[in-house]
Amino acid sequence: MKILITGGCGFVGSNIAVFLKKRLKKSKIFSLDNLTRKGSLLNRNRLKKLSIKNFNYNIENFNKLKSLPKFNLIIDCCAEPAIEASRKDPNRVFSTNLIGTFNILKKCIKDRSNLIFLSSSRVYSIDSLKKLVSKQIIRNPIKIKKTIDENFDTSAASSLYGFTKLASEKLIKEMFYQNKLKYIINRFGVISGPWQFGKQDQGFVSMWVANHLFKKKLSYVGFGGYGHQVRDILHIEDACKIILLQISKFSKINNITFNIGGEKKNTISLKSLTQKAQEITGNRIKIRRIPKTSVFDIPYFITNNRKIKKFYKWKPSKSIDQILKDIYIWLRHNKVIIKYFK
């Protein structure tokens, strides 16, 4: 089987590429990535060592995509994934995330390839998520019991990023229906682990550990600046495992949308993340309070994994402590990486 991973030099794409290369011995794995994300060059070098070829093409250029060989499966991990880019660089979010998907779909139709699409928990409406958390309990949202399943409201605003993901999902269903092709849509929550070049507006878990380790500053932004926002975190290895399972069962399980996340037991607030980062690195750093909340920020998200568990008998295996430890070890043992974060 020939598999193309778009965004293959990004955090998720590169980890999936390496994971599949080591396990699907009879398959050929390729990447497409124009290396715009800081750190992607380092991931490209990892792929090179495993003889995984990267096509350095812009996903927005269909003529380039058209010239690529035929693949049996495309795993679409290419995106501008930062929520705040919805405000700072809307053109890029729209063209990379939506035109990019459109181009990938045209390529799939041309070659009759199947698709696994990396969507996001950010497709859900911001206002409906905010309603889960009243002002009184924002200081202790960890106590909320509600988890978010695939039927949660998507009808209102969710950021341009969320919109491009939801619109991509609709486009996949539309174009694959007409052409009788098969897809899986995975709405992932926060994923983290080694090889994530985290920054303020994307990849906060790895950035939290790195900034403690290298004694750089951090800020609690929004909701009063207390660090009470809550998310569930999924280890990248658990994400890779479910993708491999999906590939192995593709002919039986397809044309479905799943929520996938770390779920309740892997839930943490920013404040507790600080405590854990202090313990693991032995360093305390200054954390500024920025009370003002971005229109795109949400106080709370915990994934309901019921559907994905039922279909694949899969569940997250790695705890938050394990995720943080793996990031810490990765940071400590890679001199080139240290240069990136410093």
Ligand X SMILES: NC(=O)c1ccc[n+]([C@@H]2O[C@H](COP(=O)([O-])OP(=O)(O)OC[C@H]3O[C@@H](n4cnc5c(N)ncnc54)[C@H](O)[C@@H]3O)[C@@H](O)[C@H]2O)c1
Window 11-30: residues binding ligand X (CB under 6 A): 11-13
31 scored as a contact of ligand X (CB under 6 A):
no
C-beta neighbour count of 278 within 10 angstroms: 13
Residues 209 and 277: beta-carbon distance below 8 Å = yes
β-strand partners of 220? 289
Q: Which of 65, 77, 83, 133 binds ligand X (CB under 6 A)?
A: 77
Q: How many CA atoms lie within 13 A of 52 on its CB side?
A: 31
> Could you say which DSSP state residue 5 is in?
E
Which of residues 3, 29, 74, 79 is near ligand X by CB under 6 A?
Answer: 79
Establish if 96 lies at the interface with ligand X (CB under 6 A): yes
Q: Rounded distance, CA 339 to CA 319, Å?
A: 28
Q: Are 209 and 324 in contact (CB under 8 A)?
A: yes
Give the residue at shortest CB distance from ligand X.
10
CA torsion through residues 118, 40, 316, 143, sign:
negative
207: amino acid identity, one letter: M
The one among 3, 19, 31, 34 contacting ligand X by CB under 6 A: 34
Minimum CB distance to ligand X, residue 7 (Å): 3
Using CB under 6 A, which residues numbered 111 to 170 contact ligand X?
A: 118, 120
**CB neighbour list of residue 135: distance below 8 Å, 6 or more residues apart:** none
> Is there binding between residue 58 and ligand X (CB under 6 A)?
yes
170: Cβ–Cβ under 8 A, 6 or more apart, which residues? none
User: Which is nearer to ligand X, 78 or 323 (by Cβ)?
Assistant: 78
* Integer Cα distance of 169 and 269 in angstroms: 29
Q: Is 190 in the site for ligand X (CB under 6 A)?
A: yes
- Looking at residue 96, the DSSP 8-state letter turns out to be I
Q: Does 52 participate in binding ligand X (rule CB under 6 A)? A: no
CB of 64 to ligand X, least distance (A): 9
**Residue 335 neighbours by CB under 8 Å, 6+ apart:** none
Binding residue (CB under 6 A) for ligand X from 78, 85, 126, 148: 78
Q: Which stretch binds ligand X (CB under 6 A): 9-17, 140-148, 298-306, 327-335?
A: 9-17
**Position among 59, 108, 175, 209 found at the interface with ligand X (CB under 6 A):** 59
| Binding letters toward ligand X, positions 240-259, x by CB under 6 A | --------------------
- Asked whether 304 and 259 are in contact (CB, 8 A), the reply is yes
Using CB under 6 A as the binding rule, the residues of this chain from 279 to 298 that contact ligand X are: none
- 114/196 with CB nearer ligand X: 196
Tell me: does residue 60 bind ligand X (CB under 6 A).
yes
Stretch that binds ligand X, among 79-87, 218-226, 245-253, 287-295 (CB under 6 A): 79-87
Percent helix, percent strand, percent coil in the chain, to nearest 5: 45, 20, 35
Judged by CB under 6 A, which stretch of 36-44, 147-155, 244-252, 278-286 contacts ligand X? 36-44
- 40 near ligand X, judged by CB under 6 A: yes
User: Can you read off the two tokens belonging to residue 75?
Assistant: 């795993």
Sequence-ordered strand ranges (E) for 91-161: 114-120
CA dihedral 143, 145, 265, 296 (to 10 degrees): -80
Residue 286 CB, shortest distance to ligand X, in Å, is 26
37 or 228: whose CB is closer to ligand X?
Answer: 37
End-to-end CA separation in angstroms for the chain: 40
Find the part of the chain contacting ligand X (CB under 6 A) among 17-25, 35-43, 124-132, 176-184. 35-43
Binding site for ligand X (CB under 6 A): 7, 9-13, 33-37, 40, 58-60, 77-81, 96, 100, 118, 120, 188, 190-191
